[in-house]
């Protein structure tokens, strides 16, 4: 008697992201969910889903405090994706961080009002940019975008880049990954230009001071 070999694991990309976020909010109860509990509810797309969940609160313009803490977690997760780790690992103190129920509800409400287009438009395509080397490339841009999130009052645009990159990995949509890379590149270029302009302006002002004196 021969046993039937197990069916190969399929790469399921049919995620309904809005429904997933609502389910997390419903599961939170009054006490909310720890990051460990959220991670345990995710599937093979844990990297993309975790980063998407963490990037949503950072989309709020001018938010200070939350992006700085969340950004550290995103960098830790993206670095592991860059190194090729199959599943994300987080230190105990991060896993014990708790998302309050009010935050989970607000996140689910926001996704239902603003993110429904993701499920309608995303689909597997341009797989070279969302699998293998493409995942590593996305991780690099995630880290670069997150480094700008931790700066005060600069969280919204890089968070959009993060959300697009995360969706691209979740849905295996290389077009979303490329969109996220483009936004991250443009934003980093703008900040760099502003920084260089400030340095040149400061140097010019310092050169004028002796003459004015």
Inform me whether the pLDDT recorded for 140 exceeds 90. Answer: yes
Provide the domain limits for residue 59: 17-204
Q: Is residue 193 part of a domain?
A: yes
Q: Is residue 189 part of a domain?
A: yes
Q: What is the pLDDT of residue 211?
A: 53
Q: What is the pLDDT of residue 10?
A: 45
Q: pLDDT of 79-133, one tens digit each?
A: 999 998 887 888 888 888 888 888 888 878 877 887 788 778 888 899 999 888 9
Q: What's the CA dihedral at 177, 19, 109, 95 to 10 degrees?
A: -70
Q: Is residue 11 part of a domain?
A: no
173: helix, strand or coil = strand
Q: Is residue 68 part of a domain?
A: yes
Share of the chain above pLDDT 90, in %: 23
The mean pLDDT of the chain is 81
- By the 8 A CB rule, do 203 and 153 touch? no
Q: pLDDT of 8-49, one tens digit each?
A: 444 445 557 788 888 888 888 788 888 888 888 776 677 888
From the list 122, 148, 109, 94, the residue with the least C-alpha distance to 24 is: 109
Q: How far, in Å, are 10, 14, 61, 71, 169 from residue 173 at the CA level?
A: 16, 12, 27, 24, 7
- The structure's pTM equals 0.77
- CA dist., res. 188 & res. 162, Å (int): 13
Q: What is the pLDDT of residue 9?
A: 43
Q: Is residue 6 part of a domain?
A: no
Q: What is the pLDDT of residue 7?
A: 43
Q: Is residue 118 part of a domain?
A: yes
Number of domains within the chain: 1
Banded pLDDT at 199 (limits 50, 70, 90): confident
Q: Is residue 169 part of a domain?
A: yes
Q: How far, in Å, are 36, 47, 48, 123, 175 from residue 87 at the CA level?
A: 13, 7, 11, 23, 24
From the list 15, 9, 8, 53, the residue with the least C-alpha distance to 172 is: 15
146 burial type by CB count under 10 A (0-12 exposed, 13-18 middle, 19+ buried): buried
Q: Is residue 12 part of a domain?
A: no
């Amino acid at each position: 008697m021969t046993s039937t070999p197990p069916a190969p694991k399929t790469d399921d990309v049919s995620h309904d992201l809005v429904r997933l976020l609502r389910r997390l909010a419903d599961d939170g109860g009054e006490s909310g969910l720890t990051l460990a509990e959220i991670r345990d509810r995710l599937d093979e797309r844990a990297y993309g889903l975790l980063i998407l969940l963490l990037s949503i609160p950072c989309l709020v313009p001018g938010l200070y405090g939350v992006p700085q803490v969340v950004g550290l977690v995103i960098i830790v997760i993206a670095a592991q994706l860059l190194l090729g780790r199959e599943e994300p690992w987080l230190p105990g103190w991060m896993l014990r961080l708790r998302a309050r129920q009010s935050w989970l509800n607000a996140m689910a409400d926001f996704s239902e009002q603003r993110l429904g287009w993701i499920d309608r438009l995303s689909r597997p395509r341009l797989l070279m940019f969302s699998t293998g080397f493409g995942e590593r490339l996305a991780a690099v841009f995630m880290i670069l975008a997150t480094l700008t999130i931790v700066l005060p009052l600069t969280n919204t645009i890089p968070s959009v880049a993060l959300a697009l990159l995360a969706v691209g990995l979740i849905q295996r949509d290389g077009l979303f990954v490329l969109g996220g890379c483009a936004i991250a590149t443009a934003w980093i270029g703008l900040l760099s230009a502003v920084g260089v302009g400030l340095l040149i302006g400061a140097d010019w002002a310092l050169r004028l001071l002796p003459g004015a004196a």
